[in-house]
């Protein structure tokens, strides 16, 4: 292989490799974007009553950030006004109005996907103030209880705090008075506040969280847990059981910090429930939502930003060069005979509408009818252009008849033959006739069979959804296809069919 072609092929392979590597390792793209996304459908339904004054209901809502993707949000507010606010790192939905004594219903719908994975890098916490309403004596009590643990590492301190929820004080042995005082503190402020106080005394930044466990369920009140910073990431501590969880993806936070998940002003929430259901989102929709919420340069120029009615066309169009590469391999390396280069690719595209079986049948029918007519008009000794025009007219007549027959017998695929490439069919009839006259009908049939086989293989390649999605997400792969085409263009070896054809020469002495 000459050096310029080799260098060009290497450059064409290297460019998409570097770009895809940047997307995967820097932007967090999936290496093979083919797995369907598992999401949770969240529904919140509530009803509020009020009086003559304006009532306001504030509810914590999930929002898209590094660890969470929120899809297809829908707000149901009825006669109430709706506003979306940010309070610190929380997103709050506020429904306000005068619902009256009969009440007013409202709701929220969304699909959420949690991205958190073990080993993921987390941001360090912001300084969190001490719990409200805690006296200096109670802070001093927490410092005494945590004193024996200060020499331990952060994770061991967390385990000791978690054990206190279960009543296990092994290793510290506080006196009876302190243990009774701790029980009184828990009863007065609640376990979450008591644990926050003890964690801060241990030097473990922590924050209170209200949210939902990601299991299929119906909840009338959100759950409460404590997020604890262990130096490398957040762990969840459950204040009722003392269990710790290193998998943030199993929980859906609604609010963090001192804010409650539900607040009402000048009214009463008479009914509220959160419903979680597991769903599978299509691969296409998952990547569309991921890229649509991104502000990165490459994502803003993604094909997913095309209007939806054009995306389907480009899903197939991007695989046409792959189909052309396949035709080249089957012709130049394997040795399939075909009517030209583009005919199999165009046939494969047409078969998308007619279906493979009906498309092959229509192709065979039109070619053989055209061949019979071509033999007859050969006796007229027509000029080339008028002869081809006549054959083209015959092709149009044939496909029109197919459409009418399909309408009568209820076969819609026959009515889709309008997408078959008329000009290519016309040239195929002419080529079939020429080959039959020069090399015999057997060779013409063999070439027709080779064309149909290559078109069938190409059709199947174009319909592989994994390839469609991969090229749609990484269109730079077209450069790699071009590199393979350059290498194929320099191939000068034997075809596989020739090795079989001349195998007897290898056996001769």
- pLDDT one-digit tens code per residue, 464-500: 777 888 888 888 888 988 888 888 887 776 666 666 6
Verify that 361 and 251 share a domain, yes or no.
Answer: no
Output the CA angle 122-127-131, nearest 5 degrees.
120
Question: What number is the average pLDDT over the span 384-398?
Answer: 80
Give, in degrees to the nearest 5, the angle at Cα 233 between 228 and 236. Answer: 35
pLDDT band at 255 (very low <50, low <70, confident <90, very high): very high
Asked if residue 88 is part of any domain, the answer here is: no
Model confidence at 132, in pLDDT bands (50, 70, 90)?
A: low
- Whether residue 278 is contained in a domain is answered as no
Distance (Å, whole) CA 63 – CA 234: 19
- Mean pLDDT over each residue of the chain, to the nearest integer: 79
The first and second tokens of residue 287, run together, are 């990547």
Burial 473-507 (b: 16+ CB within 10 A, else e): bbbbbbbbbbbbbbbeeeeeeebeeeeeeeeeeee
Extended beta strands in 325-482, E state: none
Which has the minimum average pLDDT: 44-48, 82-86, 212-216, 440-444?
Answer: 440-444
For residue 211, pLDDT over 70 is answered with yes
Give percent above pLDDT 70 in the chain. 83
* pLDDT score for 416: 59
Of the candidates 116, 112, 124, which has an alpha carbon nearest to the alpha carbon of residue 247? 116
Res 118: pLDDT: 45
Confidence of residue 338 (pLDDT cuts 50, 70, 90): confident
Same domain, 322 and 458: yes
**For helices 136-146 and 191-201, angle between their N-to-C axes, nearest 10 degrees:** 60
Q: What is the span of the domain harbouring residue 185?
A: 136-262
Is residue 68 a part of any domain in this protein?
Answer: no
Map residue 509 onto helix, strand or coil: coil
Mean pLDDT in residue range 422-426: 72
Beta bridge mates, 271: 47
Whether residue 340 sits in one domain with residue 242 = no
Q: What is the 8-class DSSP label of residue 134?
A: -
Give the burial string for 91-103 (b: 16+ CB within 10 Å, else e). bbbbbbbebeeeb
Q: Does 175 reside within a domain?
A: yes
Mean pLDDT within 193-201: 85
Predicted local confidence at residue 273, as pLDDT: 92
DSSP, residue by residue, 251-295 = EEEEEESS--SEEEESEEEEEEEEEEEEEEE-HHHHHHHHHHT--
pLDDT at 119: 44
pTM (2 d.p.): 0.58
Q: Would the pLDDT of 506 be above 60?
A: no
pLDDT, tens digit, 9 for 90 and up, residues 143-159: 888 888 877 888 888 88
How many CB atoms lie under 10 A from the CB of residue 330? 21
Q: Which residue has the higher pLDDT, 13 or 313?
A: 13
Integer Cα distance of 293 and 254 in angstroms: 20
pLDDT over 90 at 59, yes or no: yes
Q: Is residue 43 part of a domain?
A: no
CATH of the domain at 178: 3.10.620.30
Q: Which helix (H) or strand (E) covers residue 87, if one does? A: strand 81-87
258 and 337 in one domain?
no
Q: Are residues 329 and 459 in the same domain?
A: yes
| More confident: 88 or 498 | 88
Among the three residues 242, 262, 282, which one is the final residue of a domain in this structure?
Answer: 262
Q: Is the CA virtual torsion 69, 72, 78, 80 positive or negative?
A: positive
Q: Is residue 97 part of a domain?
A: no
Identify the domain boundary among 229, 262, 295.
262
What are the helix (H) ranges across 149-259?
A: 154-165, 176-189, 191-201
Asked whether residue 42 is assigned to any structural domain, the reply reads no
Predicted pLDDT at 503: 60
* Together in a domain, 255 and 157: yes
CA distance 509 to 499: 17
pLDDT average, residue stretch 11-20: 86
Residue 305 in this model has a pLDDT that exceeds 60: yes
**Do 325 and 465 lie in a common domain?**
yes
Q: Are residues 186 and 325 in the same domain?
A: no
pLDDT for residue 509: 52
Burial track 376-400 (b if 16+ CB lie within 10 A, e otherwise)? eeeeeeeeeeebbebbbebbeebbe
- If one counts the domains in the chain, the total is 2
Residues 328 and 440 in one domain: yes
Is the model more confident about 261 or about 353?
261
Within a domain: residue 286? no
440 contact partners, CB below 8 Å, separation of at least 6:
none
Residue 454 has pLDDT above 80, yes or no: yes
Residue with tokens 């610190």: 88
| Shared-domain flag, residues 326 and 453 | yes
pLDDT at residue number 281: 65
Residues 322 and 258 in one domain: no
In a shared domain, residues 367 and 250:
no
Query: Among the three residues 193, 228, 262, which one is the final residue of a domain in this structure?
Result: 262
Q: What is the mean pLDDT of residues 410-425?
A: 64
Measured between alpha carbons, how far is residue 306 from residues 288, 302, 303, 445, 471 in Å?
Answer: 11, 8, 5, 43, 15
**Bridge partners of 219?**
274
d(CA 169, CA 147) in angstroms, rounded, equals 13
* For helices 154-165 and 136-146, angle between their N-to-C axes, nearest 10 degrees: 110
The CA distance from 99 to 96, in Å, is: 9
């Amino acid at each position: 292989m000459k050096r310029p072609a080799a260098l060009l092929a290497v450059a064409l392979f290297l460019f998409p490799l570097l770009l895809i590597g940047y997307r995967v390792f820097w932007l967090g793209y999936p290496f093979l974007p083919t797995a369907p996304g598992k999401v949770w459908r969240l529904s919140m339904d509530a009803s509020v009553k009020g009086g003559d004054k304006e009532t306001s209901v504030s509810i914590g809502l999930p929002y898209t950030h590094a660890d969470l993707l929120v899809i297809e949000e829908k707000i149901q507010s009825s006669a109430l006004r709706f506003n979306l606010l940010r309070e610190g790192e929380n997103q709050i939905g506020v429904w306000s109005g005068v619902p009256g004594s009969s009440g007013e219903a409202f709701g929220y719908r969304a699909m959420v996907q949690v991205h958190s994975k073990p080993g993921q890098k987390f941001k360090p916490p912001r300084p969190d103030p001490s719990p409200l309403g805690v006296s200096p004596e109670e802070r001093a009590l927490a410092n005494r209880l945590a004193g024996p643990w200060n020499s331990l590492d952060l994770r061991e301190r967390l385990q000791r705090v978690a054990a206190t929820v279960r009543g296990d004080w092994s290793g510290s042995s506080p006196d009876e008075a302190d243990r009774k005082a701790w029980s009184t503190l828990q009863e007065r402020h609640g376990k979450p506040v008591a644990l926050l106080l003890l964690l801060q005394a241990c030097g473990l930044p922590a924050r209170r969280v209200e949210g939902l466990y990601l299991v299929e369920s119906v909840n009338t009140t959100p759950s409460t847990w404590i997020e604890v910073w262990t130096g490398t990431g957040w762990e969840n501590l459950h204040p009722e059981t003392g269990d710790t969880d290193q998998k943030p993806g199993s929980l859906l936070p609604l609010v963090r910090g001192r804010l409650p998940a539900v607040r009402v002003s000048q009214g009463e929430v008479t009914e509220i429930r959160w419903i979680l259901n597991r769903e599978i989102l299509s691969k296409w929709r998952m990547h569309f939502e991921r890229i649509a919420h991104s502000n990165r340069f490459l994502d803003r120029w993604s094909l997913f930003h095309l209007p939806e009615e054009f995306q389907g066309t480009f899903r197939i169009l991007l695989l046409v060069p792959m189909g052309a590469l396949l035709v080249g391999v089957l012709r130049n390396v394997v040795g399939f005979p075909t009517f030209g280069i583009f005919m199999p690719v165009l046939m494969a595209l047409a078969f998308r509408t007619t279906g493979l079986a009906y498309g092959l049948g229509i192709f065979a029918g039109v070619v053989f009818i055209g061949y019979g007519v071509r033999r007859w008009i050969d006796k007229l000794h027509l000029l080339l252009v008028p002869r081809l025009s006549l054959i083209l007219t015959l092709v149009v007549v044939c496909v029109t008849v197919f459409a009418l027959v399909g309408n009568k017998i209820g076969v819609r695929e026959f009515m889709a033959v309008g997408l078959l490439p008329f000009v290519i069919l016309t040239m195929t009839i002419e080529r079939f006739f020429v080959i039959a006259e020069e090399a015999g009908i057997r060779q013409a049939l063999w070439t027709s069979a080779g064309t149909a086989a290559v078109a069938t293989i190409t059709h199947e390649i174009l319909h592989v959804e994994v390839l469609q999605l991969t090229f749609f997400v990484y269109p730079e792969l077209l450069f790699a296809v071009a590199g393979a085409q350059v290498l194929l263009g320099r191939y000068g070896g034997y075809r596989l069919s020739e090795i079989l054809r001349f195998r007897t020469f290898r056996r001769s002495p």
